[in-house]
Structure 1
Amino acid sequence: MIEKMKFLSITGPKADIDRVVNKYLSKYEIHLENAMAQLSQIRHLSPYIQINPYRELLSRVNEFAGLLHNTEGIPIEETSLEEIQTLVDSLGNKISKINARCEKLTEERAVLSEDLKWITPFLTLPEDIDKLIHYRFVQVRFGRIPVEYYGKFKEYVYDNLDTLFYPCHQDDYVWGLYFVPWTKMEQVDAVFSSMHFERIYLKKDHFYGTPEKIHAELEARLENIDREYAAHQKEMQALLEGDAKSVLSAQAALNALSTNFDVRKVAACVKEHQETFYILCGWISERDCTSFMAEIEHDPNLFCVVEDDQKQISCKPPTKLKNPKIFKPFEMYIKMYGLPDYHEIDPTIFVALTYSFIFGIMFGDVGQGLLLAIGGFLLYKFKKMDLAAIIGTAGIFSTFFGFMFGSIFGFEDIIEPLWLHPTEAMTLVPGLGNMNTVFVAAIVFGMFLILLTMIFHIVNAVKMKNVEGIWFDQNSVCGLVFYGTLTVCALLYLTGKALPATILLAVMFLVPLVIIMLKEPITRLAEKKAPAIEGSKPMFFVQSFFELFEIMLSFLSNTLSFVRIGAFAVSHAAMMGVVLMLAGAESGGNINWLIIVLGNAFVCAMEGLIVGIQVLRLEYYEMFSRFYKGSGKEFRPFLKRVNSKRTSEQA
């Protein structure tokens, strides 16, 4: 169901807007519209421009709240702006000091990590680094050379060069050091450079001892830094957790204040008699409107007008769904397709009943249905997933039809069917011979659903005052008479009453079709518009004939589409028959229960998913396409119910 809406225009002195928002509007859910757009006919209208003073403070509190790990169960309390400012300043100073120490540790860690990166490839070097660097007559160069160039260097250059290269490690490079006399330094350095030798400058004041000793010292220092950094982080976390209640209370209060202040974004200002007034426009539920008007009745600085004339409102009402709790999870399917327009029928209850009923027929099994029901409702209880509630409801109907079909985990000889076995029951159809009873029932059921959706279409058309949609459309009264006649004739033929069926078909078949074909000129005549046919008349009749042919084909295809209901009921029984055959249950021997369990799990998961999708397809394409547009605008309350939220959290 769709809640009834009222359009409000609220005005008062410009300086009084915060009082009105905090005292009155924050208690109600109001979908605010942009007043500048809605009241464009008013002269001297201007936007309400003012910078939000809470934004920076809220940003800092959000930063503190984001550092809290577990906020569940922490109560929210009332707090003042002065208390929030004191809290932010105090926490900010303490956290800034901790962050400064952490930043210094991070810089130190980066330096040590860089040193560790360069010393690691030289771990096999047995000599002290500081001694090598301070040789008197020989220079030492640390570095690396690509593997391919190192091979060429050893083969063609090394033996003829006054140097000694000591390799330490190899990956994509050969890491090592070479020794060169002072007198040959320039020549040798030039040769190594030509071999793409990359020199590494080890800092003299950083490295004392062997590489292995230096590496161990660097790792120990890194561990100390990590421990110290973790201690600072723990200190900051303890600081925040100690004030968690205050931080979250401040966040809630600032969110409310900031949101309430942002009402100015959709407000307009107008100057009258040297005084400036604000104007707010929006939608409120009929129930809340009564309470709101009673509350502001004696406020001298607040004026509110409820607009009942829809012609004076330039925007369409938003849609707020209100359904019984048992049907509420099915709103998910409605929102996937599109919210109903305010003047449309809300199809939630219709979808809940038809989806569950059709799913049950297509997946009729007592055991598997109970598994779906129990699993779905447990998941909904703990995870609050709407889809889980839908699965649970569908499982109940699957269980019901399991009894109707006499099937429990695929076994059809444990309980007697209350109706029939889908794979065995046959019905004699005049002119067509024997057909599966479930197929025949599915088509008849589908025809009645199509007729019902046509009635929904007519109701929607009446609400929107659409003459063509009421009388002359393919889903209107004419379409209902035409398809209803076919349905009644089909039932008469099935029951062996061919003569009255033929007479009824002859009388009621052609007239509705002709009206549907000529719906446009008839509508124009009914609305007293001229000419009745626009453009070329021959082209109109040719186009209308082919459109009528397409409509008749769509009726046929839509009707036959419901055969899938019976097909899946039969296929489910057939698949479980295969599982029983593989398990040896049909041969009378020992039953392999592992195959029974695995087979049931596979069929339940795979076919349950496929059936769920196929039923949704029937809803969207065969039913929604006849009466539902889903072009509604969602009801989005601009303000939060701050008072009620805090009360519930404290409770």
Structure 2
Amino acid sequence: MIERMEFLNITGPKDDIDRIIETYISKYDFQLENALSELKNVKELHAFNESNPYKDILARSQELKEYFKDTGLHTNRHMSIEEADKITRSISDKVYSLSQKKSELESELAGYEEKLKNVHYFIGLDYDTEKILHFKYVNFRFGSMPTEYYEKFMTFVYESIDTIFYKAREIDDKVWGVYFVPDAISEQIDAIYASMHFERFFLPDEYHGTPEYSSAKLQEKIKELQDNILNIDNKILSVLENSREDFLLANQVLYRFNKVFEVRKYAAATRDNRKDKKVFYIICGWLKKDDAEKLAKELENEPSTFCLAERNLSKISSTPPIKLKNNALFKPYEMFVEMYGLPNYKEFDPTILIALTYSVLFGFMFGDVGQGLVLLILGSIIAHKKKSRLAAIIARCGFFSTIFGFLFGSIFGFEDIIQPLWVRPAKAMTALPVIGNLNTVFVVTITLGMFIIILMMILSILTKLRFNEPGEALFDANGVAGLVFYASALITIILFMTGNHMPATIVLFIMFVLPLILIFLKEPLSAVLERKKVHLEGGVGMFILQGFFELFEVLLSYFSNSLSFVRVGAFAVSHAAMMEVVLMLSGVESGNINWIVVVLGNIFVMGMEGLIVGIQVLRLEYYELFSRFYTGDGREFKPYS
């Protein structure tokens, strides 16, 4: 069901707004609405434009809080916002000098790490880097080239030019090294290396000894800096730990007051045009009806604060937010409703409907005692430990799969252990007039689907009446006219298939022809019923032509929607057939059963077919059920707290 919502307007002296929010409003789930938007017809209102005094100090507090591994706090002690501000600033000042030193060391550390990265590429070079960097008559180029070009260069080019290439390392398909060339021919040799995709790397003039020696020294310096930074962190943590309870409590108070102050961006205030005129705030928004009544009762004790409930929702610009309320058995299925879209405030909550139909149809398509129990047990365990709604749905579907497993006489695919309480899906046949023999589960699922469609049409009619759309409720394909036609078709089919007499001609006319005429004339009849001007766009001829094709589409959709439920029976049959294949591969017929094949086959079927069945049932829910009566355009209830 949908929680009943109530819209409250709360007003009082502007100077008292923080206390009222902190003392009363913050205790409830209150979805705030912009008061200026809701009260746009009220003159002399303006927005609060004060800057948040808690924002900066809270940011400093949150930054320091990251040093704590455990931020849990259990205390009943009260702390004022002034005390929280003072404590936080005092601790922050103590930490500030240490943080400054830490920042300097981190900057220095980053520089040394960059140097280590640069020299890392040339560790294989067994020559003093400092001497190379000071050559005067021989040019040098540090850099890299792709491995494939290096091999071509060494094979076809290297011996024919005046250069020395010293390979240092090979990393990620690149050869790193340095080449030397006489200054007089450096431009020509540089061009040859460039054609080999050689990329220069400029090594800074600050290394001593071989790259390996420089690397070791840099690593020592980096380790020293890391130890110094860790030491500072420990000093900061020591300062914080000495005031742990005070700091964490102050953080909570600052966070709460920051949230309280942020409420002002939703509030409005009256203008202070005269010095003797008091300024009032106005806060408005949605609460659950029970919470709204409790809050209003509490505010009665505040002589300067007034709380008014708006009973006429048509005067409110915002639509009521949606909060679903279902018991624990059906609550996990709210996930499927949210995926499609929350219901409009005037609609029915389809959670219970989807819970029952989804579970039953899944069980029908996946009927097996053993596999159903596995889904039930595993789903329940995961749902309990991980609080997963999907796992809870799987557990419930497993329960219905177990029930249908008993009806079909199947346990882990074996059909000779228990007798079916109803039929074997792959073998049961029913003789029908004209059609001949047809699988029994196909007949049952189509009939079941038609009854479900009729139920959806009834819900559609009730929904249209709630939305005050009598024309749609009476003459739509999912309205009364469509219901009469479709229900008549179902009754006629049942009478014919069971060998009973058909209704008289006049009854058939009322049952079939009259509803189709009403559906054909839906637009003009709805306009007359709702006292609107009848307007046939394109003229009478175009209306008749368009209406004919729309009516044909309606009839086609009735037929296709009914046949959609054949898939329920088809999956029940295919499930039994797949398990027959698994048992055949395991050697059941020969009497020499390979239990590993049986187990793996069951796991495969449960995984693959379970996923497919779950998706197919959800498709039926959305396209054959929801599309008939449900809009799903509601907005989620998001309380500010």
Corresponding residue number in structure 2 for 1:389: 392
Superposition map of 1:247-646 within 5 A: 248-271=248-271, 274-500=277-503, 504-531=507-534, 533=536, 536-585=539-588, 587-638=589-640, 640=641
Unmatched runs of 5 consecutive residues or more in structure 1: 159-164, 179-187, 641-651
Give the counterpart letter for 2:388 in structure 1: M
Corresponding residue number in structure 1 for 2:51: 51
Give the counterpart letter for 1:372 in structure 2: L
For the 8 Å contact 2:122–2:177, the answer to whether it is kept is no
For the 8 Å contact 1:132–1:140, the answer to whether it is kept is no
Give the counterpart letter for 1:620 in structure 2: Y
For the 8 Å contact 1:133–1:139, the answer to whether it is kept is no
Corresponding residue number in structure 1 for 2:189: 195
Flag the 1:374–1:48 CA change in 2: closer, same or farther, 3 A: same
Flag the 1:198–1:134 CA change in 2: closer, same or farther, 3 A: closer
Residues in 1 aligned to 2:134 and 2:461: alpha-carbon distance in whole angstroms: 99
Superposition map of 1:40-79 within 5 A: 40-69=40-69, 71=71, 74-75=73-74, 78-79=78-79
Give the counterpart letter for 2:596 in structure 1: L
Corresponding residue number in structure 2 for 1:643: none
Flag the 1:256–1:119 CA change in 2: closer, same or farther, 3 A: closer
Give the counterpart letter for 1:619 in structure 2: E
Corresponding residue number in structure 2 for 1:102: 102
Which shows bigger deviation, 111-120 or 547-556?
111-120
Deviation at 1:120, TM superposition (A): 5.8
Flag the 1:86–1:543 CA change in 2: closer, same or farther, 3 A: same
Residues in 1 aligned to 2:137 and 2:129: alpha-carbon distance in whole angstroms: 13
Which shows bigger deviation, 480-489 or 570-579?
480-489
Residues in 2 aligned to 1:146 and 1:562: alpha-carbon distance in whole angstroms: 66
Give the counterpart letter for 1:63 in structure 2: E
Which shows bigger deviation, 476-485 or 75-84?
75-84
Which shows bigger deviation, 622-631 or 24-33?
24-33
Which shows bigger deviation, 592-601 or 10-19?
10-19
Unmatched runs of 5 consecutive residues or more in structure 2: 191-199
Residues in 1 aligned to 2:323 and 2:468: alpha-carbon distance in whole angstroms: 22
Which shows bigger deviation, 533-542 or 328-337?
533-542
Deviation at 1:589, TM superposition (A): 1.9
Residues in 2 aligned to 1:496 and 1:463: alpha-carbon distance in whole angstroms: 41
Secondary structure, aligned partner of 1:556? helix
Corresponding residue number in structure 2 for 1:181: none
Flag the 1:352–1:343 CA change in 2: closer, same or farther, 3 A: same
Residues in 2 aligned to 1:67 and 1:371: alpha-carbon distance in whole angstroms: 45
For the 8 Å contact 1:123–1:168, the answer to whether it is kept is no
Flag the 1:596–1:28 CA change in 2: closer, same or farther, 3 A: same
Secondary structure, aligned partner of 1:7? strand
Give the counterpart letter for 1:96 in structure 2: Y
For the 8 Å contact 1:145–1:195, the answer to whether it is kept is no
> What per-residue deviation string (whole Å, max 9, x for no partner) do you get for residues 20-47 of structure 1?
2112211222222222112122222222
Corresponding residue number in structure 2 for 1:184: none
For the 8 Å contact 1:461–1:469, the answer to whether it is kept is yes
Flag the 1:219–1:46 CA change in 2: closer, same or farther, 3 A: closer
Residues in 1 aligned to 2:549 and 2:619: alpha-carbon distance in whole angstroms: 27
For the 8 Å contact 2:123–2:169, the answer to whether it is kept is no
> What per-residue deviation string (whole Å, max 9, x for no partner) do you get for residues 215-245 of structure 1?
4433333333333334444554566566665
Corresponding residue number in structure 1 for 2:142: 144
Residues in 1 aligned to 2:446 and 2:301: alpha-carbon distance in whole angstroms: 63
Deviation at 1:213, TM superposition (A): 4.7
Deviation at 1:199, TM superposition (A): 7.7
Corresponding residue number in structure 1 for 2:196: none
Flag the 1:99–1:535 CA change in 2: closer, same or farther, 3 A: same
Deviation at 1:521, TM superposition (A): 1.3
Residues in 2 aligned to 1:168 and 1:593: alpha-carbon distance in whole angstroms: 60
Deviation at 1:524, TM superposition (A): 1.7
For the 8 Å contact 1:36–1:267, the answer to whether it is kept is yes
Deviation at 1:12, TM superposition (A): 1.6
> What per-residue deviation string (whole Å, max 9, x for no partner) do you get for residues 417-450 of structure 1?
1111111111122221111111111011111111
Which shows bigger deviation, 253-262 or 392-401?
253-262
For the 8 Å contact 2:5–2:288, the answer to whether it is kept is yes
Give the counterpart letter for 1:333 in structure 2: F
Flag the 1:93–1:426 CA change in 2: closer, same or farther, 3 A: same
> What per-residue deviation string (whole Å, max 9, x for no partner) do you get for residues 295-331 of structure 1?
1223211112222123322332221211112211111
Deviation at 1:547, TM superposition (A): 1.0
Residues in 1 aligned to 2:54 and 2:603: alpha-carbon distance in whole angstroms: 56
Flag the 1:34–1:247 CA change in 2: closer, same or farther, 3 A: same
Deviation at 1:399, TM superposition (A): 0.9
Flag the 1:230–1:431 CA change in 2: closer, same or farther, 3 A: same
Deviation at 1:457, TM superposition (A): 1.0
Flag the 1:266–1:211 CA change in 2: closer, same or farther, 3 A: closer
For the 8 Å contact 1:357–1:397, the answer to whether it is kept is yes
Corresponding residue number in structure 2 for 1:2: 2
> What per-residue deviation string (whole Å, max 9, x for no partner) do you get for residues 454-487 of structure 1?
1111111121111112211111111111111112
Deviation at 1:591, TM superposition (A): 0.3
Secondary structure, aligned partner of 1:428? strand
Residues in 2 aligned to 1:245 and 1:291: alpha-carbon distance in whole angstroms: 34
Give the counterpart letter for 1:606 in structure 2: M
Deviation at 1:356, TM superposition (A): 0.7
> What per-residue deviation string (whole Å, max 9, x for no partner) do you get for residues 123-166 of structure 1?
6777777899999xx988765377778996864446xxxxxx79
For the 8 Å contact 1:489–1:504, the answer to whether it is kept is no
> What per-residue deviation string (whole Å, max 9, x for no partner) do you get for residues 143-191 of structure 1?
5377778996864446xxxxxx79473653543779xxxxxxxxx5444
**What TM-score comes out, normalization by structure 2 length?**
0.88
Flag the 1:108–1:632 CA change in 2: closer, same or farther, 3 A: closer
Superposition map of 1:199-278 within 5 A: 202-203=205-206, 207=208, 213-236=213-236, 248-271=248-271, 274-278=277-281
Flag the 1:251–1:620 CA change in 2: closer, same or farther, 3 A: farther
Give the counterpart letter for 1:396 in structure 2: F
**What TM-score comes out, normalization by structure 1 length?**
0.86
Deviation at 1:193, TM superposition (A): 6.1
Which shows bigger deviation, 386-395 or 45-54?
45-54
Flag the 1:394–1:76 CA change in 2: closer, same or farther, 3 A: farther
CA RMSD for the aligned pairs?
Answer: 3.1
Give the counterpart letter for 2:626 in structure 1: F
Secondary structure, aligned partner of 1:632? coil
For the 8 Å contact 2:7–2:309, the answer to whether it is kept is yes
Deviation at 1:50, TM superposition (A): 1.8
Flag the 1:504–1:23 CA change in 2: closer, same or farther, 3 A: same
> What per-residue deviation string (whole Å, max 9, x for no partner) do you get for residues 108-127 of structure 1?
43454455456667767777
Deviation at 1:269, TM superposition (A): 2.0
For the 8 Å contact 1:489–1:502, the answer to whether it is kept is no
Corresponding residue number in structure 2 for 1:185: none
Which shows bigger deviation, 193-202 or 23-32?
193-202
Flag the 1:326–1:117 CA change in 2: closer, same or farther, 3 A: closer
Residues in 2 aligned to 1:543 and 1:560: alpha-carbon distance in whole angstroms: 26
